[in-house]
């Protein structure tokens, strides 16, 4: 017997076998039981979710010798002919290759003739959105008032391209992407039918990669079975298909969380040398940080995360805040968009991994504003406006968020932070203060107390501990810049 692909062999034969389409299944069965049969149906939804299968089941239900019935027998000649594609009363048309008015004119001529053997003549037009506007217009009258024995079933993956005049003449059914759990269950049943052993993680990976398409899942399943030797193992799938496992992603993320540039880049080199494509790795790494972000937000559902919550590194979750994980994911999504036009995709990836190594020191604009607002409150100044933290070029041209320094009040002057004409009056005061602070710290010896006012201001603003002081300022912590609030920043 000739080999038959799983997607064809496992195609649904009854409404109950349609996976993940409860609304479509219940509505069509109810209308058949009541005899409320429309003259035109429009099935829309993503690829591989059962639109064409549902159309064929509906055609069998209408023309079954025991029908119209919600449960076609599957044994009569009409059911067998429709299943085999040899029925004269069920005409399947590919909308992509029959787009013109002449093709529609042929349909209009054919509908005048009654069905050959069944009760209804059913036209199934797949990818109906590919018809031209003139072809759609030529169909309008036929769809609106067809002979009583004519049924039209349209299927499309792009509902927005179907004219409203066609939609208004059809009963519309929106098919949904099939949930991962349903795909995994169907794959498990297929393995039992074929006497194949499979790890749950391997089946879960296939279901996740199918992105809601049962046909995609069966196609990928056939490919994996061909090299698995009768046992589906996740480790073998990763090896043969050039994938990155959760263990490698955990190791790389932990190295980045420890700011281990050399370790992270060495791990990246090892992964790429194993044959993993750069595009695939960026997708997997972005998915990993997305899962960490969802975990940090309290989401623990395995089908959403891709793995069980316990599979993700606790060290990485504890090291990074929610805003830092958002920045990491945004960085990787931008990287994927940039790869297409990059001089060297590998250089882009290595740069991104290096940036992930200082992610624990990244602060969001909201956190910076909160720190400055707390400092201004202590000084008796009004809170900073939203414009003070707008994204724009700093005086140094770095493109980072810039701060506008306003003239301090009398309380700030009493605290020793200068009055009119002081550094606080100048644009980019915080930036210049930071530079002077770093220059001075490199010169100070432990125990020295004198640093520029602007540098002291910046140091305490960014620590969120600006206070009014009487007398000399405290000495810098022993050890210079390494122990300061800016310690370790290159």
CATH architecture of 6-174: 3-Layer(aba) Sandwich (3.40)
Question: Is the separation of the CB atoms in 150 and 107 below 8 Å?
Answer: no
Q: Confidence class of residue 266 from pLDDT cuts 50, 70 and 90?
A: very high
pLDDT at 106: 87
**pLDDT tens, 229-261?**
888 888 888 888 878 888 899 999 999 998 889
Domains 6-174 and 180-241 share a fold: no
Q: Enumerate the domain spans of the chain.
A: 6-174, 180-241, 246-361, 365-483
Q: pLDDT for 43-59, tens place per residue?
A: 999 999 999 999 999 99
pLDDT at 447: 56
Among the residue ranges 79-93, 131-145, 363-377, 434-448, the one predicted with the least confidence is: 434-448
pLDDT over 70 percentage in the chain:
77
**Whats the size of the chain, residue-wise?**
490
pLDDT score of 320 more than 60: yes
Q: What is the mean pLDDT of residues 60-89?
A: 86
Given a cut of 50, whether residue 490 has pLDDT beyond it is no
Per-residue pLDDT for 375 more than 80? Answer: no
pLDDT at 448: 55
C-alpha 322 chain-centroid distance? 18
**Least confident piece of the model among 255-269, 271-285, 324-338, 464-478:** 464-478
Q: What is the CA radius of gyration of the chain?
A: 33
Residue range 479-486: mean pLDDT, rounded: 41
Task: Compute the mean pLDDT over every residue in the chain, rounded to the nearest whole number.
Answer: 79
Residue that has been written with the tokens 């066609």 in this structure? 166
Nearest residue to 154 (alpha-carbon basis) of 289, 41, 288: 41
Paired strand residues for 91: 123
Contact 351, 395 (CB under 8 A): no
Integer angstrom CA distances of residue 206 from 230, 243, 246, 278, 281: 16, 12, 15, 21, 17
Do residues 381 and 466 make contact, with C-beta atoms less than 8 angstroms apart?
no
Fold of 180-241: Helicase, Ruva Protein; domain 3 (1.10.8)
HSE (CB half, 13 Å, CA atoms) of 379?
A: 29
Tell me, what's the pLDDT at 350? 93
State residue 436's pLDDT score: 60
The pLDDT of residue 377: 76
Class of residue 164 by CB neighbours under 10 A (exposed 0-12, middle 13-18, buried 19+): exposed
Q: Judging by beta carbons within 10 Å of its beta carbon (0-12, 13-18, 19+), is residue 261 exposed, middle or buried?
A: middle
User: CATH number of the domain at 246-361, out of 1.20.272.10, 3.30.565.10, 3.90.1150.10, 3.40.190.10?
Assistant: 1.20.272.10
């Amino acid at each position: 017997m000739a080999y038959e692909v799983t997607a064809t062999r496992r195609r649904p034969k009854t409404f109950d076998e349609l996976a993940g389409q409860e609304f479509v299944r219940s509505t069509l069965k109810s209308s058949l039981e009541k005899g409320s049969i429309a003259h035109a149906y429009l099935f829309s939804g993503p690829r591989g979710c059962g639109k064409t299968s549902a159309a064929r089941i509906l055609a069998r239900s209408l023309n079954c010798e025991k029908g119209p019935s919600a449960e076609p027998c599957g044994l009569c000649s009409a059911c067998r002919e429709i299943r085999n594609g040899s029925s004269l009363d069920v005409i399947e048309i590919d909308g992509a290759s029959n787009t013109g008015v002449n093709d529609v004119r042929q349909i209009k001529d054919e509908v005048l003739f009654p069905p050959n053997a069944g009760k209804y003549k059913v036209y199934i037009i797949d990818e109906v959105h590919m018809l031209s506007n003139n072809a759609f217009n030529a169909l309008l009258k036929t769809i609106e008032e067809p002979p009583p024995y004519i049924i039209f079933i349209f299927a499309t993956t792009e509902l927005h391209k179907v004219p409203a005049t066609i939609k208004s003449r059809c009963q519309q059914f929106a098919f949904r992407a099939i949930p991962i759990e349903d795909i995994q269950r169907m794959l498990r049943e297929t393995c039992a039918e074929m006497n194949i052993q499979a790890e749950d993680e391997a089946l879960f990976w296939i279901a996740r990669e199918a992105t809601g398409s049962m046909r995609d899942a069966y196609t990928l399943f056939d490919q994996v079975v061909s090299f698995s030797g009768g046992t589906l193992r996740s480790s073998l799938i990763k090896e043969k298909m050039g994938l990155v496992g959760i263990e490698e992603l955990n190791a790389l993320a932990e190295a980045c969380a420890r700011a281990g540039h050399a370790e992270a880049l060495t791990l990246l080199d090892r992964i790429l040398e194993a044959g993993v494509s750069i595009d695939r790795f960026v997708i997997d790494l972005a998915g990993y940080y997305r899962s960490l972000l969802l975990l940090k937000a309290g989401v623990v559902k395995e089908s959403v995360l891709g793995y069980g919550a316990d599979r993700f590194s606790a060290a990485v979750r504890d090291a990074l805040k929610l805003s830092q994980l958002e920045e990491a994911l945004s960085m990787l999504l931008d990287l994927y968009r940039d790869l297409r036009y990059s001089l060297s995709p590998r250089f882009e990836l290595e740069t991104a991994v290096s940036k992930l190594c200082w992610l624990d020191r990244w602060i969001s604009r909201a956190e910076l504003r909160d720190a400055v607002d707390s400092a201004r409150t202590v000084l008796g100044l009004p809170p900073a406006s939203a414009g003070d933290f707008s994204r724009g070029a700093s005086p140094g041209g770095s493109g980072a968020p810039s701060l506008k320094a306003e003239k301090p009040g009398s309380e700030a002057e009493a605290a020793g932070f200068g009055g009119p004409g002081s550094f606080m009056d100048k644009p980019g005061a915080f930036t210049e203060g930071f530079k002077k602070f770093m220059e001075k710290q490199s010169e100070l010896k432990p125990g020295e107390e004198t640093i520029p006012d602007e540098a002291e201001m910046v140091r305490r603003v960014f620590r969120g501990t600006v206070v009014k002081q009487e007398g000399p300022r405290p000495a810098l912590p022993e050890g210079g810049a390494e122990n300061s609030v800016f310690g370790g920043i290159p």
